[in-house]
Structure 1
Amino acid sequence: MSFPQFAFNNVRRNARAYIAYFLSSSFMVMVFFAYSVFIYHPGIASQNIGTMAVTSMRVAACIVYVFAFFFVLYSIGTFLKSRNLEFGILTILGARPNQINRLIFLENMLIGIVAIVTGIAGGMLLSKLFLLLSTRAIGIEDLPFYWPVHAMLVTSLSFVSLFLFISFFTLLLIRNNKVLDLLQGNVKPKKQPKASLFLSLMGVILLSTGFYALRIELSPFAIILAAVAGISGTYLFYSQLSVVVIRLLKRSRRSTWRGTRLLWTSEMSYKLRDNSRMLFMITVVTALASMGAGYVLSINQAGRDEYNEKPFAITQTYYRTTSADPDRSTIHQELKAAGVEYTEKRTDLLSASALDEEGRENGLYLIGLAQYNELAPLADLPAVTGLGANEVVVVASPEVEKKEYIRDQMVTLAEQPAVSLYVKESVTTESVGFISSVAPVLIVPEKWVEMVRVARSAEEGKEVRPYISYHYKVPAWDTGSLPSIDSQENIVGTKLRQWNTAREGTSDEVFDLTSRAANYWVLKQSTAMLSFVSVFVALIFSVASASFLYFKLYSDLAADIRMYRALSKIGLSTSEMSASATKQIAVLFYIPIVVAAVQSLVVISPILETGIMNVLKPVLTTFAGYLILQSVFFIIVKSRYIRSLKKMMV
């Protein structure tokens, strides 16, 4: 038998140990290859968001590759430790260190090459489906199937390099081990896990620091401090604090010394300490991935809400114009060509400032009473009647704190500080409707608009004009549902946006055209791309974390078999063994999810208090998905693990 045949037989005989590692590696290769198929597709460059989509796919492919590196490195290290006895026997039989190194190298490369071939083959079978799903999710034209030679070469070279580097690197893990250590590696009893009280206390302090940092001030420094303290505290929680907590639980005879509770509780102190690095990594990755996915989902929801809140299909705003009646013929022609009826309304919004108690200026807009009442029914706002000469009505969103510039129901404008205006009424609405800014709007008599305009012109030494906006209400497009990408509203809106962009820089005018449908689809395509990428990355994280746990449980299987077999001789039943092992595995599988969920809620709670956006539901939805996936993997791993233990019970 040749040396390569010997390496092949070793892999074949250890198939049960290698199968999860092999399948996970193949899955990573397949996902990386699928991303490469999309990135190098010849038709992607002609798409409107092709560059952004390719960039997102490249980032995702890099994340997969980096994670694959650490996954393979950790997995191979776990396998080498579980095979110490085998390497010790080979050494006694005369195998030289370079021969054992060669054996390990051949085994690693054999599994790696087979995983690469399998992953690319699986990717080829699913590439058409992946292209179909990606184009539908992003909202672009379908990409036809092609023969991805470039993607094959990039994937093959990338992962061959990865397995080569790690295969050489892992040879250092056993080079200096003595024969006696190799022979006793899986047999000698483990030392009782120890924990430092100082480090445990430090973990509590770091976690508390991360918690309070975000509540004192939501700033970049506070975010960085919370991230560093939270990540460091999480590691100390697994490596130190968890051991201290279990040790305290074992001292309580009333709660712990009952049935098999002491058995699995004692074992958990070993398993948590031995798996502290792995559990720490899974927790951090899960928390970051879930918060990222939740943030993307919340942005997507904000886009849907913004579309539903906008009463006007198209808005053209002139911030600086040389004409009191700008040309809108192109907009009229496009709407008429679409065959839809529309209503055009004009607003003249004058920028002004209100003074607060300390004399600071707060930006707002002024609009005449007559113009407002024309727009109010179209924007679902209440009409205003009976304003006195020095009376105003405030219209603002909930995010704006009106008390900063309203004092005793009075408002003082910085442009006319001698006279204060009485606030007759305050209207709170989620969307003002006819402005894109969150600044409040003061509804004033027409004479006040002109007075403030003249005052500003005199102060700035040039004529100041209000912002002129034209709002187009199209009843046929107000269906109450979101528009499709090929809807008439999106097609017309996108065309007008492109026309408006082409006009920029051709005159002294400063203007902007917005289409609620076009804006919705630009945001949807961006978030859909990120969501599509994050789904596969999250799936890889879930599969890899389950594989990590499977590897570690399998490496400890021999010791656990000896322990449970000895306990069965003195009366431990199969059901008690199954219950004890299930609880231990459940803790390893679910504690990272629970800790990551708590950390995510701690991080997003200050964001919820600011009212920026609702990210709670998306984050909880993401964790629910993780929990379902983790439960599936838990059932599979638990059944295989307990089945192996049952075979050795007396």
Structure 2
Amino acid sequence: MNLREFAAKNVLRNISGYFDYFLSSTISAALLFSFTMIIFHPGFQADLLPLYLQKALNMTTIIAYLFLSFFVFYSVSVFLKSRYKEFGILYITGSSKKQIQRMITTENILISSVAGVLGIMLGLVFSKILLAVSGKLLGYSALGFYFPTKAAVITFTAFLIIGIVISLLCSFIIKEDRVLTLLKGSKKPKPEPKTSIFLTVICIVLLATGYYLSITANIKTIANRIIPVTTMVIAATYLLFSQLSIFIIKLIKKNKKVYRNKTKMLWVSNLLYRVKDNTRIFFLITITSAVALSAVGSVYAYWRDKEEQINRSFPQAFFLANRDNNKSRADFIENALKRERIDYTKTKGEMKFIIPDGYKEEVAIIKETAYKELAAMISLGTIPFNEDESIIVSTLAQKEKKSIILNNIELKLTGKNDRRILPAFYGEVYVVKDNVYENIKGAKNYFWVFNVENYKSTLKICKDYHNNFGEDKIGSYYNNFLKANILEGTKIAYGIILFSSIFIGLIFLITTASFLYNKCYMDILEDKKKYKQLYKIGLTYKEIKRILTIEIGVLFLFPYIIAVIHSFFALSSLKYAFELEITTAAFLVMGGMMVVQVIYFLVIRKSYLVEIKRALSS
């Protein structure tokens, strides 16, 4: 029997150990294949997308591949450590380091290649459904079936490279000069975990501060809070598992009445070591899951709310503005509306740009007459004001301002319309009396506005407009906002970003779930011996079942519960800062993930208990 035959038989004999790694690799390969199959679909012209969307798709592929590589390396390293005794015996019987490395390389290449092939086949089986769903998500009516040769070659090559590279890295895990350690296995006496009250307090303070800053963020502060809040929550998460959790379990141990009640002594003691031993994996799973949930939840919330966002940001169907009082583009729109027999209302006016005293940026000023005409077009009630007063028409104005100074003219601010009358591009818009407007010196801009009852029906006009005049370069004084066209572009952009975030989220959730399964596989060998001895001295199977349910439940659900809490506060910051409705999106995304995780926990628990019961009866 040569080395390749030995490696192949070794994989078959250890199929239960390699099964999770193989299954997760297969599913990951199917996801990677499905993603590339859609990207290279002839009906999906990615090269025609804006540059930032093309970069988003490329970055999604790179992130997914790097995370998959990390996942494969982790899974292989965990499994190799569980085979310490086997490698120790091979070294003693005369196998060289080079031979063992070649055996590991052969095993990994074999598994990665087969996983890649099966992943491609699995992707092909569900390709029709995936193409239909993704086509709708990306803004296409449907993406027809085709044989994705390019996607298949990329996926197989990618997983073959993973197998080769990971095999080379695994040579650092198994060392020949550690034969005695290998023969003893990974079992070592464990000292009781220690905690620091100072670090525990720091954990609580960081979490509380991070959560508070999240829910009190507004549109002007959220950008400056993202990095510090993320840093605080990440640091607090690690301390939560390494310090706070251990501290709480030790408090339970000190309460003798609780600790010595029935089987609590066993599972509390076991949890003390399990949580400490799994601090890094808990931390990794929590952060990656929180990132996945926050990304998918926020993008999904924006995707669901896209039409409402467009309606808030662009109140009219067409808004054209320039500094030269050139009405040729406005005439084109009006003639097109007449040609298509679409009823419309129109108005024209002007605005001025000026930097008020104490401000750093320009604001737009319009006169009361234009304000009333624009408000009437969208059925918006107007706010009356006096000669020495002004009102704000903007959803961005957060601070309560009492006055504004324009060219040494001080005006009291007496009201605020939360609904826009000009596109969101103009930020804060101030309305003044007509005679006051004439006395204000500023850069003048002219605008033409058209509104229709159903702006979505004007998409053809928007496309004809861009075919005739080309893409607009939006500047300070030359702006053309065509609402139907903006909605169409927004649908595609959010669809692609949502598609990418769901893909990354699935990769994260599948691989992190596999991390936990690998950990269970490592623990079950020791648990079989431990619970067999406890069973002999009188512990019943029912009590063992209850203890293991708690221990496995903590292992599988604890990090996800923390991730859900992190994600809830992250999404809440969007709600308070951007007035975005995230309740439904958060419920669907987080609730769906937790349901899947609970089902996964129940399946693993049942499998774990079957193994333990079999060990007890042997």
TM-score (norm 2): 0.88
1:622 to 589, 595, 599: 589
Tell me the amino acid that sits aligned with residue 531 of structure 1: L
Tell me the amino acid that sits aligned with residue 535 of structure 2: S
Residue 489 of structure 2 aligns with which residue? 522
Residue 449 of structure 1 aligns with which residue? 437
Classify the secondary structure of the residue corresponding to 2:431. Answer: strand
- Paired with 1:369 and 1:497, the residues of 2 have a C-alpha distance of 32
- Relative to structure 1, the CA distance from residue 204 to residue 371 in structure 2 (aligned partners, 3 Å threshold; closer, same or farther) is closer
Residue 195 of structure 1 aligns with which residue? 194
- Paired with 1:638 and 1:74, the residues of 2 have a C-alpha distance of 22
Residue 460 of structure 1 aligns with which residue? none
Classify the secondary structure of the residue corresponding to 1:162. Answer: helix
Task: Work out whether residues 7 and 107 of structure 1, in 8 Å CA contact, stay in contact via their aligned partners in 2.
Answer: yes
Classify the secondary structure of the residue corresponding to 1:224. Answer: helix
Residue 67 of structure 2 aligns with which residue? 67
- Paired with 1:447 and 1:58, the residues of 2 have a C-alpha distance of 55
2:480 to 484, 488, 513: 513
- Relative to structure 1, the CA distance from residue 9 to residue 203 in structure 2 (aligned partners, 3 Å threshold; closer, same or farther) is same
Task: Work out whether residues 193 and 273 of structure 2, in 8 Å CA contact, stay in contact via their aligned partners in 1.
Answer: no
1:333 to 331, 335, 357: 335
Tell me the amino acid that sits aligned with residue 120 of structure 2: I
Aligned residues: 613
Q: Which runs of 5+ in 2 are unaligned?
A: none
Residue 543 of structure 1 aligns with which residue? 510
Classify the secondary structure of the residue corresponding to 2:376. Answer: coil
Residue 35 of structure 1 aligns with which residue? 35
The answer to whether structure 1 residue 256 and structure 2 residue 259 are counterparts is yes
1:316 to 315, 319, 322: 319
| C-alpha RMSD over aligned residues | 3.3
- Paired with 2:171 and 2:46, the residues of 1 have a C-alpha distance of 48
Listed one character per residue, the Cα deviations across residues 519-573 of structure 1 (whole Å, up to 9, x for unaligned) are 1221121111111122122122211112111111111111101111111122222
Task: Work out whether residues 47 and 140 of structure 1, in 8 Å CA contact, stay in contact via their aligned partners in 2.
Answer: no
Task: Work out whether residues 346 and 469 of structure 1, in 8 Å CA contact, stay in contact via their aligned partners in 2.
Answer: yes
- Paired with 1:590 and 1:141, the residues of 2 have a C-alpha distance of 39
Task: Work out whether residues 542 and 629 of structure 1, in 8 Å CA contact, stay in contact via their aligned partners in 2.
Answer: no
- Paired with 1:384 and 1:301, the residues of 2 have a C-alpha distance of 32
The answer to whether structure 1 residue 294 and structure 2 residue 297 are counterparts is yes
Residue 272 of structure 2 aligns with which residue? 269
- Paired with 2:314 and 2:378, the residues of 1 have a C-alpha distance of 5
Residue 495 of structure 1 aligns with which residue? 464
- Paired with 2:472 and 2:222, the residues of 1 have a C-alpha distance of 39
Cα distance, 1:201 vs. partner?
5.8
2:310 to 307, 310, 314: 307
- Relative to structure 1, the CA distance from residue 142 to residue 614 in structure 2 (aligned partners, 3 Å threshold; closer, same or farther) is closer
Classify the secondary structure of the residue corresponding to 1:7. Answer: helix
- The percent of aligned pairs where both chains have the same amino acid is 27
Classify the secondary structure of the residue corresponding to 1:556. Answer: helix
1:599 to 566, 572, 578: 566
Cα distance, 1:312 vs. partner?
5.1
1:345 to 331, 344, 347: 347
2:600 to 627, 633, 637: 633
Q: Which runs of 5+ in 1 are unaligned?
A: 407-411, 458-463
- Paired with 1:202 and 1:369, the residues of 2 have a C-alpha distance of 55
Residue 554 of structure 1 aligns with which residue? 521
Listed one character per residue, the Cα deviations across residues 82-105 of structure 1 (whole Å, up to 9, x for unaligned) are 222333344444444443333322
Tell me the amino acid that sits aligned with residue 332 of structure 1: E
- Paired with 1:421 and 1:510, the residues of 2 have a C-alpha distance of 25
Tell me the amino acid that sits aligned with residue 493 of structure 1: C
1:72-111 equivalence runs, <5 A: 72-111=72-111
1:468 to 446, 458, 479: 446
Q: Which deviates the most, 587-596 or 147-156? A: 147-156
Classify the secondary structure of the residue corresponding to 1:400. Answer: coil
1:396 to 393, 402, 412: 393
Task: Work out whether residues 303 and 494 of structure 2, in 8 Å CA contact, stay in contact via their aligned partners in 1.
Answer: yes
2:406 to 386, 411, 414: 414
- Paired with 1:561 and 1:405, the residues of 2 have a C-alpha distance of 73
The answer to whether structure 1 residue 569 and structure 2 residue 547 are counterparts is no
1:112-131 equivalence runs, <5 A: 112-131=112-131
Q: Which deviates the most, 157-166 or 599-608? A: 599-608
1:378-393 equivalence runs, <5 A: 378-383=377-382, 390=387, 392=389
Residue 18 of structure 2 aligns with which residue? 18
Classify the secondary structure of the residue corresponding to 2:381. Answer: coil
- Relative to structure 1, the CA distance from residue 334 to residue 220 in structure 2 (aligned partners, 3 Å threshold; closer, same or farther) is closer
Cα distance, 1:64 vs. partner?
1.6
Runs of 4+ in 1 over 6 A off after TM superposition: 212-217
